[in-house]
Amino acid sequence: MDKPTRHSLTWTVDDTMTAKRIGTAGAKILSTPNMLALMEACALELAQAYLEDGMTTVGAEAHVRHLAPTPVGMQVTATATLREIERRKMWFDIEVHDEKGKCGEGSHLRIMVPQKDHSQS
């Protein structure tokens, strides 16, 4: 089976994801940090298909443009496209759409690393 090169993830914007909640001036709309969190989560899920056992990825770089507001209650979907893999580096292009249209875009770099065992002995 071929590995996927695109993946989408949808969240519904709630009060915990607003600009007001993180202490910046703003209305009840999706904050940029929460849009970035959605983008990262989407890329992380796509990256899973490429990882060997015992590996995970960590975010290393993000370039984000927040293009339009998304109000509380609206669904927002990130779609990540795997652009390139170079050794341990994975580059993604990501677009974000809400129910009105495109509201964000960016690129994201994730690096493959060994997964730490956090279990108690």
Check the CA dihedral 41-47-53-56 and report its sign. Answer: negative
Per-residue pLDDT of 48-92, as tens digits, reads: 999 999 999 999 999 999 999 999 999 999 999 999 999 999 999
Q: What mean pLDDT is reported for the chain?
A: 92
In this structure, what token pair is assigned to residue 52?
Answer: 């060997």
Domain-by-domain residue ranges, the chain? Answer: 6-114
pLDDT in tens, 98-109: 999 999 999 999
Q: Which tokens hold the place of 95?
A: 């677009």
Look up tokens 């580096």; give the residue. Answer: 89
Query: In whole angstroms, what is the distance from residue 84 CA to residue 93 CA?
Result: 10
More confident residue, 27 or 88: 88
Beta-sheet strands, E only, within the chain: 6-12, 55-66, 75-86, 89-98, 101-114
CATH code given to domain 6-114: 3.10.129.10
Query: CB neighbours (10 Å) of residue 7?
Result: 20
Residue 28 burial (CB < 10 Å; 0-12/13-18/19+)? Answer: middle
Using pLDDT thresholds of 50, 70 and 90, give the confidence band for residue 121.
very low
